[in-house]
Structure 1
Amino acid sequence: MAPQNAPAKPASRSLVIGVVAFYLVAALAMVVANKWVLNTTTTPLFFLWAQLAIAAGLFIASDALRLLPDRLTFDLQTCKGLIPMVGLNVFGLSFSNYTLKYVDASFYQVARGMVLPFTVCTSFIVLHSRPSLRILLCCAVVTLGFFIGVFLDGTELSLIGVGFGVASSAITAIHSVVIKQSLTVVGGSALALSWYTNLLSAIILLPLLILAGEGTDILKLLFGVGELLVKPGEMSPLSTFIWGSMITGVLGFMMSIASLLSIKVTSPITHMVSSAVRGVAASLLGVWLFHDVITSGRASSIAIILLGSVLYTWVKHQESQPSSTTTSRRGSYERVKMEDIEAGEKAFKPK
């Protein structure tokens, strides 16, 4: 009998292509749908709550129809153990939505470009995992790309949007560390973690959006006269909100599966390359659908950030090999896995 940790049979080429295509389509649709709604609504937190509530409802429906590999449970003790991760998830997603609201879809990749350097820094501080010189050089490349996009782009930027992007990146980095501890709370089940995160985030976010002052805007959205002032052939703010919430809620549920499949079936390098392609495609869609402007400075910034991210993944892959010299003499030390970064950034959130 083969040991449980024996390497699995490599996935077929058609399966890998299918999973990568599924991930790219779901992620791109998520960004476009989010920007479409956020351009018209003044209630970004209520929009986020609707996404989470719909995703949680789909988990419940899938469980009732026996479509999930494991049955869903709800345990108060488990909920208590997930409080740190859920709190970070709520603030991270909220800041991410505000980022996308205040910046162009084509600039979103740049505004949240500091996720990788913050993750490496958090790993060093919290997990005491010393990054190699090559890892630090990759982070320097990403940081250079971020500063080029912010300070040398030449176009008018929303400093509020950039601020939310940096805050979102920092929270995502911390989230990537906390999620490792949270997986132990749910017995290592990524599916259970997705279920608890969507449900608890929706519960926690409901009073927060009232405290944030969105109550009046929510009433105007639901019961205002906006439906009567819409020109023929155009969608009202409420119709846009409802359709956008349904689309992004379903996509959020799919993304929980898509990102896990992409990491499980493909290699980390393939997953990062697909993420890079997604970032470029999102920028191009921003130009096409929302008439965003891509200057040479912004294009250079996106290219440098993606280059540093891909180089980081390649270096991590090289250092994880048994022959790697970084862990040979002084003993191995733990570094944040690519799965943790991607889980903190994509598994529960729209990009």
Structure 2
Amino acid sequence: MSNEKHEKFLPSPAVHRAGPQHSLWSIISAISFYWFASLSVVFLNKAILSNSENKFPYPLFVTLFQLVVALVLLVVSGHLGKRNRLLSMVPPFEFDLDIARSVAPLSVVYVLMLTLNNLCLQLVEVTFYQVARSLSIFFNILFTYLMLRQGTSSGAMIACSIVVLGFFVGSYGETNFSWPGLLAGVGSSIFVALYGIYVKKTLSIVDNNQWRLLHYNTLISIFLLTPIVVFSGELQEMWREVYFLGDLSFWALMSFTGVMGFMINTAMFLQIKYTTALTNTISGTAKSCVQTLMAMVFYQNPISAMNGFGIFLSLFGSGLYSWVRYAEMQRK
């Protein structure tokens, strides 16, 4: 599964009240683990889909395979969690048909979010990836008003305006511009925003336990995506065109990427547990900045001055929006 989309598994953390003080080593370890898992997913998926010597341009199959890996890990973690304190946060796997029916709309949104995210990552440069997907803030504000009838503060609207401006400036200045990649990024942003809203609406069905929700969501998503992969023609094309399907190293890479996608959930849980809401917010924004800088160094993508300014505006606006929302939570 792909990077930012996996971070949406968990709902936004509540502001931490007075609680136990954790050691500096625990805090640093939690943040480092989150950064490692999140950055790994982005660059590994990019390598699989478009940048590796063994190019594998099948985003639907990649998404399905990584969901299967996540489901296996959920089942195993839930079983081991009965005896292992480290995994006790993951409940035993369960399936109730009535709950599944209620979770299904969320899973439809989730499948579209993951698929479009991987397609965007395949079609655009990693340096432009954050810009292509930056409109999730705009759509979050829009859908929150349309679906939940909740307004947004002027500060958040200003931050959102900066993000939107960065999107247009960055898109116009992108050297290796791709309309399909841009549209996939916008589509992914739409479903990221919808996913966050549907998670909040669906959590009560599973007693506000995000891991139980993840059980149902992952399994249902596999059922939804499997026929799409079959009828898309990806399997037939893979069989004809891909000469390295028997290469164990390729499947090891695919499996490791799936493991990292699953680990983002644990990493987010630990980062929320061992840090404050503000640290969690700053960490996510800083990680996006580092991700863009790493892509510039690793891939040597040509970046025009306008494109660079657009990337800066998108990252700055996203960070400002996170700060404004955090300050609002503190006041409440």
Q: Shorter chain as normaliser: what TM range? A: 0.7 to 0.9
Q: In the alignment, which residue of structure 2 is the partner of 1:339?
A: none
Match of 2:95 among 66, 74, 79: 74
Residue in structure 1 matched with residue 256 of structure 2 by the alignment: 247
Deviation at 1:238, TM superposition (A): 5.0
- Whether 1:192 and 2:237 are equivalent positions in the alignment is no
CA contact (8 A) 1:102 1:160 kept: yes
Does the C-alpha gap of structure 1 residues 238 and 160 become closer, same or farther in structure 2, counting only changes over 3 Å? farther
Cα distance between partner residues in 1 of 2:77 and 2:158: 44
**Further displaced range: 291-300 or 35-44:** 291-300
* 1:51 and 2:66 correspond: yes
Q: Which structure has the greater CA radius of gyration?
A: 1
1:256 is displaced (CA, Å) by 1.4
**Residue 262 of structure 1 pairs with residue 282 of structure 2:** no
Q: CA separation of 1:301/1:266 partners in 2, compared to 1, >3 Å: closer, same or farther?
A: farther
Q: 2:37 aligns with which of 26, 48, 51?
A: 26
Is 1:36 the counterpart of 2:47? The answer is: yes
1:165 aligns with 2:195: no
2:3 corresponds to:
none
What secondary structure, in the 3-state scheme, does the structure 2 residue paired with 1:247 have? helix
Rounded Cα–Cα distance in structure 2 between residues aligned with 1:91 and 1:47: 13
* Deviation at residue 126 of structure 1 after TM alignment: 0.9
For residue 14 of structure 1, the aligned residue among 3, 7, 25 is 25
| Counterpart for residue 308 of structure 1 | 317
1:208 aligns with 2:231: no
Q: Is the 8 A contact 2:124 2:182 kept in 1?
A: yes
Deviation at 1:121, TM superposition (A): 1.2
Q: Equivalent residue for 2:129? A: 108
Does 1:177 pair with 2:197? Answer: yes
Q: Name the counterpart of 1:130.
A: 151
CA deviations 1:160-215 (Å, max 9, x no partner) are: 00000001101111111111111111111011112222222122111111222213
Q: Deviations over 1:205-227 (max 9, x none)?
A: 11111222213123236xx5x24
Contact 2:106–2:199 (Cα < 8 Å) also in 1: yes
Q: Unaligned 5+ residue runs, structure 1?
A: 228-235, 325-351
**Structure 1 residues 48 and 237, CA gap change in structure 2 (3 angstroms):** farther
Contact 2:57 2:122 in 1 (8 A): no
Q: Which residue of 1 aligns with 2:114?
A: 93
Larger proportion of helix:
2
In structure 2, C-alpha distance between the alignment counterparts of 1:28 and 1:135, rounded to whole Å? 27
The 8 Å contact of residues 48 and 57 in structure 2, kept in 1 or not, is answered as: no
Q: Over aligned residues, Cα RMSD in angstroms?
A: 2.0
8 Å Cα contact 1:194-1:256 kept in structure 2: no
Deviates more, 1:22-31 or 1:212-221: 212-221
User: Which range is displaced more, 276-285 or 242-251?
Assistant: 276-285
Q: Deviations over 1:243-298 (max 9, x none)?
A: 33111111111011112322343233322222222222222332333332333323
Q: How far, CA to CA, are the matches of 1:201 and 1:64 in structure 2?
A: 21
Which shifted more, 188-197 or 290-299? 290-299
> What pairs up with 1:273-292 in 2 under 5 angstroms?
273-292=282-301
Which letter does structure 1 place at the counterpart of 2:69?
A: I
Question: For residues 175 and 94 of structure 1, do their structure 2 counterparts lie closer, same or farther at Cα, with a shift above 3 Å needed?
Answer: same
Distance 2:214 2:170 in 1: 33
Task: Say if 1:285 and 1:314 are closer, same or farther in 2 by CA, change over 3 A.
Answer: closer
8 Å CA contact retained: 2:169, 2:306: yes
The answer as to whether partners of 1:47 and 1:241 remain within 8 angstroms in 2 is no
Distance, in Å, in 1 between the alignment partners of 2:97 and 2:18 is: 36
User: Do 2:124 and 2:176's aligned partners in 1 also have CA atoms closer than 8 Å?
Assistant: no
Match among 166, 170, 173 for residue 145 of structure 1: 166
| Aligned 8 A contact 1:144 1:304 in 2 | yes
Q: Which amino acid aligns with 2:239?
A: L
String of CA shifts for 1:52-73, please: whole Å, max 9, x gaps: 1011101111222234322221
Secondary structure in structure 1 of the residue aligned to 2:330? coil
SS in 2 for 1:107: helix
Q: 1: distance between equivalents of 2:247 and 2:163?
A: 39
For each residue in 1:133-177, what CA deviation from the matched residue of structure 2 results, as whole angstroms up to 9, or x when unmatched? 1111011011111111011x1513001000000011011111111
* TM-aligned CA deviation for residue 111 of structure 1: 0.5
Partners of 2:60 and 2:248 in 1: CA distance: 17
- Structure 2 CA distance, aligned partners of 1:89 and 1:178? 10
